[in-house]
Structure 1
């Protein structure tokens, strides 16, 4: 879990946008923090996105992952998945037409966690490694790292 020190311009919407790349989780984030007002200098608890989805399915759209824009089709995710999920993927087309996954803000991710989030199983980490041989298999990738995804992987 992250702890955010609020500024005078923060509200749950801006914090949701910063941590989850989308402000639609603001109501769930407020509920998670027992609806305490956001005040400058106060701390706001920011859990991983899967925690909000599990605890507040009616406020987050349930256990579905939607694109950052909030439109399109949704793909079901497993609420009992062992791998943590931070936020929706940020698909960016590459020159080859393949999507990339951008590691969201949080504690970083391993190739296994990227595979779990993008392909539904951590066992497919080798497919991602084949596209990104410069990344060590056990390396924790920092926020903002762009990871090429295998051909045919469609992000929600």
Structure 2
């Protein structure tokens, strides 16, 4: 419900600034639940940039990423990958590429198969996540140079 509420507001404006305590009070939840929703649903992989300021006058600012061009978006996604990537994080990146019309549904499905746990078939989760990060980084670099 919290995610839907914030996304509804973001549908009307490219950026919102909220007070965690206000939203928590509105939904009758503890403020840490607001943190959880923002941390898991409003990631760069999902096409959002989150900034926060702590303290009495603190806020959380959420904005949809509107890259100037495709290369900027791809570079932001690349910078978010790091040395390892879970299957869910990779899926979010692929969905962002699809939603930005950088890849077709078919290309997205092929990418999903390439980074899936079944395809990688590695018994060590750390090795699997490192391999997935390398594969998706290579795909994004290829997209970057084709754009």
Q: TM-score, normalised by structure 1?
A: 0.31
Structure (1/2) with the larger helix percentage: 2
Q: TM-score, normalised by structure 2?
A: 0.33
**Greater CA radius of gyration, 1 or 2?**
2
